[in-house]
Structure 1
Amino acid sequence: MTAEIFRIGFLPLVDAALPILAHELGFAAREGIAIEPVRDMTWATVRDRLIFGQTDAAHMIAPLAIATTLGRDRPAVPLAVPFVLGLNGNAVTFSTRLANAVGLTEELGDPAQIGAALKRLADARAASGKPLRFGVVHRYSSHNYMLRYWLAGVGIRPDQDVEIVVTSPPFAADALAAGDVDGICVGEPWNSIAVDRGVGHIALATAQIWRRGVEKVLAMRATLLDERREAVEALVRALHGAAEHFVAPGAAEESADILARPEYLDAPRDAVLRAITDRIRLVPGGEPLHYPDFMFQYREAANFPWRSQAAWLYSQMVRWDYMTFDEGDAAAANNTFRPDIYRAALAGSSAPLPGASSKLEGGLAEPIGAGSTQGRLTLGADRFFDGRAFDPDDIETYLAELP
Structure 2
Amino acid sequence: MSEEFSIGFLPLVDAALPILAHEEGFARAEGLSLRLVKDVSWATVQDRLLYGQTDAAHMVAPLAIATTLGRGRPAQPLSVPFVLGLNGNAITLRSDLAARVSPQGQLGDPALVGAALRAVVEERVAAGKLLRFGVVHRYSSHNYMLRYWLSACGIRPDKDVEIATVPPPFCADALEAGEVDGICVGEPWNSVAVERGAGTIVLATAQIWRRGVEKVLAMREPVLEERRAEVEALVRALRRAAQHFVDPAALGEHARILARPEYLGGNAELIERALADRLLLHRGDKLIHFPDFMFQYREAANFPWVSQAQWLYSQMARWEGMAVTQEDAARAGRVFRPDVYRAALLGTDEPLPGASSKVEGSLNQITAVSTQQGNMILEDNRFFDGRIFDPLDVTGYVADLP
Per the normalisation by structure 2, the TM-score is 0.99
Question: For 1:369, what is the secondary structure of its paired residue?
Answer: strand
Q: Please tell me the residue identity of whatever aligns with 1:88.
A: N
Does 1:276 pair with 2:275?
yes
Structure 2: distance between partners of 1:318 and 1:395: 10
1:102 CA drift (Å) = 2.5
Counterpart Cα distance in 1 of 2:101 and 2:210: 24
Shift of residue 103 of structure 1? 4.7
Q: Name the residue aligned to 2:199.
A: 200
**What is the aligned partner in structure 2 of residue 159 from structure 1?**
158
CA offset digits 1:176-225 (Å, max 9, x no partner): 01100000000000001100110010010000000000000000000000
1:281-300, aligned counterparts within 5 Å? 281-300=280-299
Deviation at 1:369, TM superposition (A): 0.3
Q: What secondary structure does 1:219 align onto?
A: strand
Aligned to 2:357: 358
Matched, 1:113 2:112: yes
Query: What does residue 345 of structure 1 align with?
Result: 344
Distance (Å, rounded) in 2 between the aligned partners of 1:314 and 1:7: 28
- What CA RMSD, in Å, does the superposition of the two structures yield over aligned residues? 0.7
Q: CA deviation at 1:328?
A: 1.4
- Look up the match of 2:88: 89
Identity %: 66
Measure the CA separation in 1 of the matches of 2:382 and 2:251: 27
Equivalent position amino acid for 1:23 in 2: H
Q: Distance in 2 between matches of 1:350 and 1:219?
A: 24
- 1:16 equivalent in alignment to 2:40: no
State the distance in 2 between where 1:103 and 1:205 align.
13
Q: How far apart in 2 are the matches of 1:98 and 1:38?
A: 37
Contact 2:102 2:108 in 1 (8 A): no
Number of aligned residue pairs: 402
Partner of 2:126: 127
2-structure distance, mates of 1:156, 1:392: 26
SS at match of 1:212: coil
Per-residue Cα deviation, 1:227-260 (whole angstroms, up to 9, x for no partner):
0000000000000000000012301111000001
Query: 1:104, CA displacement in angstroms?
Result: 3.8
Q: Who is 1:28 aligned against?
A: 27
CA distance in 2, matches of 1:200, 1:104: 14
**In 2, distance between residues paired with 1:330 and 1:208?**
26
Mapping 1:2-401, distance limit 5 Å = 2-401=1-400
Task: Give TM-score, length-normalised by structure 1.
Answer: 0.99
Amino acid in the other structure paired with 1:290: H
Q: Amino acid of the residue matched to residue 196 of structure 1?
A: E
Conservation of the 8 A alpha-carbon contact between 2:169 and 2:189: yes
Separation in structure 2 between the aligned mates of residue 249 and residue 182 of structure 1, nearest angstrom: 35
* Cα distance in 2 between the residues matched to 1:66 and 1:127: 37
CA deviation profile, 1:68-95 (whole Å, cap 9, x unmatched): 0000000001000000000000000001
- Aligned to 1:300, the other structure's residue is in SS state coil
Q: Is the 8 A contact 2:325 2:395 kept in 1?
A: no
- Go from structure 1 to structure 2 and tell me whether the alpha carbon gap of 1:366 and 1:3 turns closer, same or farther (over 3 Å shift): same
SS in 2 for 1:358: coil
- C-alpha change, 1:134 and 1:341, in structure 2 (3 Å) is same
- Distance (whole Å) between structure 1 residues aligned to residue 118 and residue 271 of structure 2: 32
In 2, the alpha carbon distance for the partners of 1:48 and 1:126 equals 37
SS at match of 2:249: coil
The C-alpha deviation readout for 1:343-370, integer Å capped at 9, x for no partner, is 0000110100001000000000011001
Q: CA deviation at 1:326?
A: 1.7
1:116 Cα shift?
Answer: 0.5
- Counterpart-to-counterpart distance in 2, 1:103 and 1:373: 44
- For residue 101 of structure 1, what is the amino acid of its counterpart? R
* Structure 2 portions without partners, runs of 5+: none
Distance 1:65 1:189 in 2: 23
After TM superposition, where is structure 1 displaced by more than 4 Å over at least 4 residues in a row?
none
Question: Which amino acid in the other structure matches residue 322 of structure 1?
Answer: G
Work out whether residues 208 and 384 of structure 2, in 8 Å CA contact, stay in contact via their aligned partners in 1: yes
Note the C-alpha offset of 1:297. Answer: 1.4
Q: Is the 8 A contact 2:9 2:38 kept in 1?
A: yes
Letter in 1 for 2:87: N
What runs of 5+ residues in structure 1 fail to find an aligned partner?
Answer: none
CA distance in structure 2 between the aligned counterparts of 1:53 and 1:262, rounded to whole angstroms: 25
Using the TM superposition, give the Cα deviation of residue 100 of structure 1 relative to its aligned residue in structure 2, in angstroms: 2.3
CA distance in 2, matches of 1:268, 1:181: 24
Q: How far did residue 97 of structure 1 move?
A: 2.1
**Which residue identity is paired with 2:149?**
W
Q: 1:98: Cα distance to partner?
A: 1.2
